[in-house]
C-alpha cells in the first residue's frame, strides 16, 4: 500500500488486492464483517464532511459505497443499532444530495 498524490488516497498493488478478495470470498462471515467495518468507516468520514466543498469527495466515494454494499447482506443493514441507523442515514443523504435515490 502506498499513499497517493493527495493525502486522502491510497493505492494497493493489484496482486495484494486480488489476494485479499480471494481470501475474503473463502470466508463469507469475514467478508460480511469487513464490509460492515468499511461501511461504518465510510459513513463516519462522510458525517465529518458537511460543507458543500466536500461535494467532489462525496462523488468520488459513492462508487466505494456501492461496492461495499454488495458485500453486506440486507439483514445486516436492517439491524436496529444506532451506529448502523446513523451510518445509513448519512450515506442516504449523500446519495440524495447527488440526485441518486
Q: Domain coordinates of the chain in residue numbers?
A: 28-97
For residue 18, what pLDDT is reported?
Answer: 79
Rounded Cα distance between 46 and 96, Å, is 13
Return the percentage of the chain with pLDDT > 70, whole number: 75
For residue 17, what pLDDT is reported?
Answer: 74
The HSE-up count of residue 43 (CA atoms within 13 Å, CB side) is 21
Q: What pTM was computed for the model?
A: 0.60
For residue 54, what pLDDT is reported?
Answer: 77
Rounded Cα distance between 23 and 4, Å, is 25
Rounded Cα distance between 87 and 68, Å, is 13
What digits encode the pLDDT tens for the residues 10-49?
Answer: 566 778 777 777 776 667 777 788 888 888 888 888 888 7
Average predicted confidence (pLDDT) for the chain = 76
Amino acid at each position: 500500500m502506498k499513499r497517493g498524490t493527495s493525502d486522502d488516497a491510497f493505492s494497493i498493488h493489484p496482486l495484494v488486492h486480488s489476494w485479499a478478495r480471494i481470501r475474503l470470498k473463502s470466508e463469507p462471515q469475514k467478508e460480511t464483517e469487513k464490509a460492515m467495518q468499511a461501511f461504518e468507516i465510510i459513513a463516519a468520514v462522510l458525517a465529518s464532511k458537511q460543507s458543500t466543498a466536500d461535494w467532489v469527495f462525496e462523488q468520488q466515494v459513492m462508487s466505494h459505497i456501492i461496492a461495499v454494499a454488495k458485500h453486506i447482506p440486507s439483514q445486516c443493514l436492517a439491524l436496529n443499532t444506532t451506529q448502523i441507523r446513523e451510518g445509513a442515514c448519512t450515506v442516504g443523504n449523500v446519495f440524495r444530495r447527488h440526485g441518486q435515490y
